[in-house]
Structure 1
């Protein structure tokens, strides 16, 4: 692995990001056999790469059929995607869980402050019902770090969740309710709220439990049901070790060690200019021991301030857990 992964989390400037990205590319080219084979097929060698736009982005589908790792003999845990019934799931072989923990802890802190200031309530039934969810791993760790006795997961006990949520919110405590979209909609169809101190964060996707909704419709339902002005969102996936967050209107921001680019939908090797819709390419420098340069199946736009939005998915790509709905 890289000698010092901490430098990834100390990035402060664009120049530092670009320099470390090139170092990570060289490391993964040398140590990740799957990524090296992909680069070889494109006739791309580190000697040819001087900037991020020169770096090949590995199609995310490779995580379904290959072991994408720099340390094939050293796997701390295996994260798997939810997939669809009978579909092939992605597998992410994570060799260092400390890096993942540091990434999501620092990422949350970057956008929301110390997790100890929150009570974390999690409504993630579809994720709890299977093994290998990176989202459950993250949220469970945040629950522990919150040090609040009221923090915890909820599955079918939504009446208890309602009582806890109302009680905590009226007490003035800061609350984070994170949930998969269909479960949040189920909750507000059963109970109505008027919350003042709670962040509602959806992770996207109906998981086949409900008809897919466009984001604006989903957020309208949730804002009305919870009595809040904005709905927050989390953008992450099994193949990544970092998350982007939106504090409203589906506009996401990344932590300093993560960047989103767009590629031409007709030419996957060509990056787009800001503001133009295209396939989303993710640079996740926390993903040092796997692959930090991933071409997703999401469609979106990146803006001049490096925020981005997700506007849908490529045709015939399976609908997955943490990906947002088509606008």
Structure 2
């Protein structure tokens, strides 16, 4: 089962793999198995019957489906004194494969790009799956300019100017507040550049809606492609939105919308609800997660993220830059 999920190429293959992993995790994941028994959902015959584990369990329990020792533990960022989510990863090769397959499917060859990260360096923020992803991209790009620039905006602006002259393809990935700082102080036309923002701004500065954010970035960086990434500590897969709004999942990932008043009921396409995620790369932890995000899913498999449930925790990708 180890890498078979990355060869999924049809709806039928996805559903078969999802049911196989559901049965595996029902037996091997003590927390998920107990949860399924408590809600009497232990005999799923189709993908529609598979229950989703509330994401909060990653804060209070060890969510793992194997006896192997974790190679690393990805942790969410949080405010002082808050409880963080922990994702025990027993095989980093699985995460690497997920990252590599997704990048190739979305952007092509990583070696075609310089990767500039407005994120903390991996030595400053250990345990971040996002920083790990950026570090892998930087290493694989094999370009001397690739690196972390969170605390070096002036240097980053000069690098961007030099790359613009050479017409080098660039990926600039960063937390939202840092991208806004760059936009405010170092606006410039950016041809051949993809700007990927990774989350909201709660806890850092006044919250703005995504269309407003993207308009600010487009005004500051004319000709750049403004895009979005959707991922979290509890997942080993990411979704990308080339238009910044409508996210596309890799073939081994699927997003479903649930009723906000009845967590066990799904709602139709195009309606706002809570986002449930199937991430088959999570076969050694839990592949079926009920998130605290609000959004819409659509018939073509795309989805939108519209916000968070009231009183849900601040998304950590911006907090990690200041903790």
TM-score exceeds 0.5: yes
Distance, in Å, in 2 between the alignment partners of 1:57 and 1:214 is: 28
Q: How many residues align?
A: 318
TM-score (norm 2): 0.95
Query: Are 1:187 and 2:187 matched, yes or no?
Result: no
Equivalent residue for 1:51? 46
SS of the residue aligned with 1:89? coil
* CA-to-aligned-CA distance 1:89-146 (integer Å, 9 cap, x gap): 1000010000001001111111111111111000013987432101011110111111
Query: Are 1:18 and 2:15 matched, yes or no?
Result: yes
Query: Are 1:144 and 2:133 matched, yes or no?
Result: no
Q: How does 1:95-134 map to 2 (within 5 A)?
A: 95-125=90-120, 129-134=124-129
> In angstroms, what is the RMSD of aligned CA positions?
1.5
Distance, in Å, in 2 between the alignment partners of 1:79 and 1:34 is: 18
Equivalent residue for 2:223? 228
Distance, in Å, in 2 between the alignment partners of 1:130 and 1:199 is: 24
* CA-to-aligned-CA distance 1:42-72 (integer Å, 9 cap, x gap): 1122xx2111110110000000000000125
Query: Are 1:35 and 2:27 matched, yes or no?
Result: no
From 294, 299, 302, the equivalent of 2:297 is: 302
From 231, 246, 249, the equivalent of 1:251 is: 246
Asked if the contact 1:205/1:321 (under 8 Å) is kept, the reply is no
Distance, in Å, in 2 between the alignment partners of 1:175 and 1:13 is: 32
SS of the residue aligned with 2:264? coil
Q: How does 1:245-284 map to 2 (within 5 A)?
A: 245-284=240-279
Query: Are 1:5 and 2:2 matched, yes or no?
Result: yes
Distance, in Å, in 2 between the alignment partners of 1:209 and 1:249 is: 21
Distance, in Å, in 1 between the alignment partners of 2:122 and 2:232 is: 13
From 203, 209, 228, the equivalent of 1:208 is: 203
SS of the residue aligned with 1:269? coil
Equivalent residue for 2:284? 289
Asked if the contact 1:260/1:306 (under 8 Å) is kept, the reply is yes
Asked if the contact 1:82/1:127 (under 8 Å) is kept, the reply is no
Distance, in Å, in 2 between the alignment partners of 1:6 and 1:73 is: 17
Distance, in Å, in 2 between the alignment partners of 1:101 and 1:39 is: 30
Distance, in Å, in 2 between the alignment partners of 1:36 and 1:304 is: 30
Asked if the contact 2:121/2:148 (under 8 Å) is kept, the reply is no
Distance, in Å, in 2 between the alignment partners of 1:225 and 1:273 is: 38
Instruction: Report how far residue 321 of structure 1 moved.
Output: 2.6
Distance, in Å, in 2 between the alignment partners of 1:296 and 1:128 is: 29
Distance, in Å, in 1 between the alignment partners of 2:250 and 2:50 is: 20
Distance, in Å, in 2 between the alignment partners of 1:131 and 1:101 is: 17
Structure 1 stretch displaced more, 237-246 or 139-148: 139-148
Distance, in Å, in 1 between the alignment partners of 2:210 and 2:121 is: 20
Distance 1:99 1:167, change over 3 A: same
From 315, 323, 327, the equivalent of 2:310 is: 315
Structure 1 residue runs without a partner (length 5+): none
Structure 1 stretch displaced more, 70-79 or 291-300: 70-79
TM-score (norm 1): 0.94
From 76, 81, 84, the equivalent of 2:76 is: 81
Distance, in Å, in 2 between the alignment partners of 1:181 and 1:88 is: 23
Structure 1 stretch displaced more, 257-266 or 128-137: 128-137
